[in-house]
Chain A
Amino acid sequence: MFQPLRIEHLSVAYGNARVLHDVSMEIPPRRITCLLGANGAGKTTLIRAVVGLTPPREGSITFDGIEISKLPPHRTAALGIACIPEGRRIFPKMSVQENLLMGAYLERSKSKVRASLEKVYNLFPRLAERREQAAGTMSGGEQAMVSIGRGLMHEPRLMIVDEPSLGLSPALVNDNFRIIRAVLEAGTAVFLVEQNVRQTLAVSSYGYVLAQGRVTACGTADELKNDPQVQKAYFG
């Protein structure tokens, strides 16, 4: 069991534009922790800082006791953090199978890669049917499956999920939530950003609300559901 992902006094900026101010959070193992916030609140920026794509200006990020705020993305990936990035970011000209294999890029054991592939294909039979197709020619829902499947191939200790359901039909969104719950049951910690607040809180144990780059509320899922600020913003 690893120690939580701990974010302390984090500040992140793009050039001169400061986007996150003094953000602190904790993402514990074996739980789904969610991050709520309007568009432009800084959710994706926070995730980019955690995985190493946008190094923070100030503050610390530790994972399993290791300071990761200055590590490049391939090093945080090697620590067992998988990211399903905003916009899905599949490799459009690679086949579905190659996309999934990229997810297991750091795994040296061929038999483990095969086993993960098997698992992902069982979870998404649709991808098994289309394994040779160029991922960029698939529908939005299928591309979301590729992106999620690719993250699962990583067999991560922490899975960071940034709105894979954006623009999908309610049925497909439900599928994604089912998968996320399955990931949790496999023992992985999940840090979840999703548009659908009701469903997000239903699967989460704990959550944070981000507004204009600051944490404005946090609590258990039930506390957040009854929080006047959340009520007003999302259930109003």
Chain B
Amino acid sequence: MELFLQFCINGLMLGMMYALVAVGFTLFFGVLDVIVFSHGDTVMLASFTGLGMYRLLEFFHPGLGAGWVVFWVLAAAVAVVAVLGMLTARFIIMPLRGAPALNTLLATMMFGTALREAVRLFFPDGSNPKPFPRLLPDWSAQFGTLNLRFDNLVLFLTGALIIVLVHLLITRTKLGMAVRASAQDAEAAQLMGVNFRLIVLVTFALGSAAAAFAGVMNGLYYNEINFNLGLMLGAIGFSAAVIGGLGNIYGAICGGFIFAFLQTAGVAAMPFASAYKDVFAFGVVIVMMALRPTGLIAEQSSRRV
């Protein structure tokens, strides 16, 4: 029982992280019908920006309170990655509108590779895994054999808060209404007075900011980061978005948790083969896609973005 709960907690943590990445994939697809393959590497860049900020603070402000350190690490990651997202939209995605979708796919894939290589080459000793600092107090509560870590709880609640905020922004605000309208019919939205280019930038800032949280979360959860972590997280986030039906935010969130559940269930069911948990999870995703090609939430009943 306790073991089961422990698995659940781990699954929820991972699911939140995946959901944050998947939301970006699904937002970008919703508004521009593109798959942004560099999105995973955006997550990686957020981890490294966070680490870089931490080192700067350590050097220039050694006595800074823990709360402020967390704040600045997050702020730096979010700011850098949100701006990068907007630049990607402005200089890679928008110029390729009207070209075959394959071109965008290739361009973003190459851009992701460039990001990965840049971090590997330019971050001090970037090709080796880096320890990620423990920014949160390592309190934990023990219930029997169940170990509830305080930092995990914080991460989970923060992730949930971000997702709720994105959701409220999209469904309850005028800006969100413009994003949804642009996703459903960009030309008609423009006729209503929506500045489409601006909406694209906002969407990319938003999706990338969510990914930045996932990046910092990833560092805090595993206590280690490396330059190619975006490959796996990107593949998982993309799968999660596809499972949920690309373009659908709720679907992407569910997809993230489903993927994490599959990984955790894989480990729980076959503890002897835990190294194969990703193989198992991706295998199930392939089967799911074969059975429900449009994703779990059918397009008709869902609200795209």
Contacts and interface: CB of A to CB of B under 8 A. Distances in A.
Interface string A63-78: 0000000001110011
A185 B284 CA distance: 63
Contact of B191 (A73, A92, A94, A101): A73
B193 A78 contact: yes
Contacts of B303: 93-94, 134
Given A94-B180, A101-B177, A72 B190 contact: yes
B180 A73 contact: no
B196 A74 contact: yes
Contacts of A83: 191
Contact of A74 (B180, B184, B195): B195
A142 B184 CA distance: 19
Contact of B187 (A78, A85, A92, A101): A85
A89 interface: yes
B53 interface: no
Interface residues of B, number: 20
B90 to A, nearest CB: 15
B39 interface: no
Contact of A91 (B174, B184, B190): B184
B277 interface: no
A93 B189 CA distance: 13
Which of B181, B189, B192, B193 counts the most A-chain CB atoms under 10 A from its CB? B192
A105 B190 contact: no
A54 to B, nearest CB: 10
Interface in A141-175: 150, 154
B194 interface: yes
B188 interface: yes
Given A74-B196, A89-B185, A51 B191 contact: yes
A105 B178 contact: yes
A89 B188 contact: yes
Contacts of B116: none
Contact of A105 (B180, B184, B192, B304): B192
A89 B187 contact: yes
A72 B189 CA distance: 12
Contacts of B174: 105
B193 A77 contact: yes
Interface in B192-226: 192-196
Contacts of A93: 180, 184, 302-304
Contacts of B191: 51, 53, 73, 77, 82-83, 85, 89
B4 to A, nearest CB: 38
A202 interface: no
B26 to A, nearest CB: 14
B181 A91 contact: yes
Contacts of A102: 177-178, 181, 189, 192
A148 to B, nearest CB: 13
Given A85-B187, A94-B180, A102-B181, A150 B304 contact: no
11 contacts: A53-B191, A73-B190, A74-B190, A77-B192, A85-B191, A91-B184, A91-B188, A93-B180, A93-B304, A94-B177, A154-B193
Given A91-B181, A101-B177, 8 more contacts: A53-B187, A72-B196, A102-B177, A102-B192, A105-B174, A105-B192, A105-B194, A106-B193
